[in-house]
Amino acid sequence: MTPDQLAARIAAAATDRKARDAVTVDLRGKTTIADFFVICEGDTDRQVRAIVDSIEASCREAGVRPLSTAGLKDASWACLDYDSVIVHVFLPGERTFYDLEGLWNAVAGARAAAD
């Protein structure tokens, strides 16, 4: 499964559990940590866990397992590392505070200006 396909599968699994504002951030050429971030949010810690469970089940069906997971205890920000795709599932306040989309768009803009 290509990173593009994995990111799409993850976004679809998150949306199946009513994740809000799911976005895929293309990191190729910006960093070596991953090819994509999939970022979304749930309204409650219970929904964050349900979104993560849906993502893991969908990926498991495709024979893909995360290298690691973090944040499920508090579930205000859960992170799943699928090597080429890193998934961030936030509560709304946490997503706004960390603003990963803004951070990585700023990196892309700075890199484009330097090129």
The SS3 call for residue 52 is helix
Q: For residue 43, what are its two tokens?
A: 């309204």
What is residue 77's DSSP assignment?
E
pLDDT (average), residues 25-42: 93
Give the C-alpha separation, 9 to 38, whole Å.
10
Q: How much is the pLDDT for 75?
A: 85
Q: How much is the pLDDT for 62?
A: 96
- Which pLDDT band holds residue 114 (cuts at 50, 70, 90)? very low
Note if the pTM is more than 0.75. Answer: yes
Give the C-alpha separation, 62 to 23, whole Å.
21
Q: What is the pLDDT of residues 74-113, one digit of tens each?
A: 889 999 999 999 999 999 999 999 999 888 876 554 343 3
Give the C-alpha separation, 87 to 17, whole Å.
15
| Fold observed for domain 3-98 | Beta Polymerase; domain 2 (3.30.460)
